[in-house]
């Protein structure tokens, strides 16, 4: 798994310089909780660098800068993506208004966020209408169920209905990519 690869320089031809040649512990999961802070030697940042070295994604650079458009991919809708794992449904910074504790299904998640740091209610990157459009296209369109779930004050109500009349950046998406 990208980011978790032990000795990536032996498996990826374009992975001879740091940070790409830094590896994980090869335990089959990204060893950072969903929403955790990315770092230059953390598996959640290395995952994207490893995928870029394998020519699976673009827009990521092999540099020691944890930012969208550097070690982390940017999103066309603003902000960018981070990745993490949850075994028990919890997400760092997740519990609170608009996101009950232990709500996620177990697995790996992409987090579409406004800033490349630990997930909080202060670094949201999407309006409710954009979050709802993504959820409807890829999942069930309900903010608190399924493989795409949302976090944010006033992003969705308690039943998961998006507050699409709000034009402020009040949402962050958690997109399940692997169980």
Q: What is the DSSP string of 30-50?
A: -SSBTTPPP-TTSHHHHHHHH
Residue 26 contacts residue 4 (beta carbons within 8 Å): yes
Mean pLDDT over 140-156 rounds to: 90
Give the pLDDT confidence score for residue 101 in this predicted structure.
59
Mean pLDDT over 133-157 rounds to: 91
Stretch among 32-46, 78-92, 111-125, 129-143 having the lowest mean pLDDT: 111-125
Name the token pair of 1. Answer: 């798994």
Distance of CA 147 to the CA centre of its chain: 13
Confidence of residue 100 (pLDDT cuts 50, 70, 90): low
Mean pLDDT over 132-145 rounds to: 95
Residue 8 contacts residue 20 (beta carbons within 8 Å): yes
Calculate ∠ Cα 11-71-18, nearest 5°. Answer: 50
Residues 161-176 have pLDDT tens digits of 999 999 998 888 999 9
Mean pLDDT over 80-88 rounds to: 91
Give the pLDDT confidence score for residue 97 in this predicted structure.
44
Task: Decide if pLDDT at 93 tops 90.
Answer: no
Give the pLDDT confidence score for residue 102 in this predicted structure.
64
Mean pLDDT over 26-32 rounds to: 91
Confidence of residue 143 (pLDDT cuts 50, 70, 90): very high
Mean pLDDT for all residues in the chain: 89
pTM over 0.85: yes
User: Which secondary-structure segment (H or E) carries 133?
Assistant: helix 128-138
Task: Decide if pLDDT at 24 tops 70.
Answer: yes
Confidence of residue 148 (pLDDT cuts 50, 70, 90): very high
Q: Which of 132, 122, 123, 121 is nearest to 165 (CA)?
A: 132
């Amino acid at each position: 798994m990208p980011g978790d690869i032990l000795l990536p320089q032996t498996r990826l031809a374009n992975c001879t310089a740091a940070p790409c040649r830094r590896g994980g512990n090869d335990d089959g999961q990204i060893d950072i909780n969903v929403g955790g802070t990315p770092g230059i030697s953390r598996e959640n940042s290395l995952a994207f660098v490893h995928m870029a070295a394998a020519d699976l994604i673009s827009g990521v650079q092999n540099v020691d800068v944890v930012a969208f458009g550097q070690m982390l991919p940017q999103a066309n809708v603003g902000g960018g993506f981070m990745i993490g794992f949850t075994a028990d449904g919890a997400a760092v910074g997740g519990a609170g208004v608009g996101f009950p504790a232990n709500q996620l299904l177990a697995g790996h998640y992409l987090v579409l966020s406004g800033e490349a740091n630990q997930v909080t209610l202060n670094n949201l990157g999407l309006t409710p209408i954009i979050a709802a459009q993504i959820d409807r296209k890829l999942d069930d369109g309900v903010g608190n169920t399924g493989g795409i779930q949302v976090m944010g004050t006033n992003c969705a109500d308690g039943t998961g209905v998006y507050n699409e009349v709000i034009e402020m950046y009040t949402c962050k998406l958690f997109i399940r990519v692997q169980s």
